[in-house]
Amino acid sequence: MCHQSVGLIQSIIEKAGIPTTSITLCREITEQVAPPRALFVDLPFGYPLGAPNDAALQTRIILAALALLAETVPPAIIRDFGALP
């Protein structure tokens, strides 16, 4: 449900004119809610930025999500963060 909520909030902010990007831990939900841009991180629910107290990993994920802002939408995009340590 968190993923639906985030996708809906994201879509509403985008509609207000601010470009948005998000993390998703669950492609199945994000594909259905279809917000503009999402970075798929292959981790369990509860760990959107990788690991607690791992500033380097958190920063890499944040930068990968922000990099999606350069991509043209529509259509909605979901990109893979890729392999995790």
Partner 1 sequence: MARLSDLKLAYQMFMKAYSYRRVDWLPGARLSKPLREARVALVTSAAYFKPDQPPFDASIRGGDSSYRVLALDTALSSLGIAHRSDAFDARGIASDKNLALPLDRLKSLVEQGVIGSAAPRHFSFMGSISAPGRLIGTTAPEVARMLVEDGVDAVLLTPV
Compute the least distance from the CB of residue 77 to partner 1, in Å: 10
Residues at the interface with partner 1 (CB under 8 A): 1-26, 28-29, 32-36, 42-53, 55, 58-59, 62-63, 65-66, 69-70, 72-74
Q: From the CB of 67, what's the least distance to partner 1, in Å?
A: 9
Q: What's the closest the beta carbon of residue 13 comes to partner 1, in angstroms?
A: 5
**Three-state DSSP class for 39?**
strand
CB 21 within 8 A of CB 37: yes
DSSP classification of residue 82: -
Nearer to partner 1, 62 or 78 (CB): 62
The amino acid present at 9, given as its one-letter code, is: I
Contact 71, 77 (CB under 8 A): yes
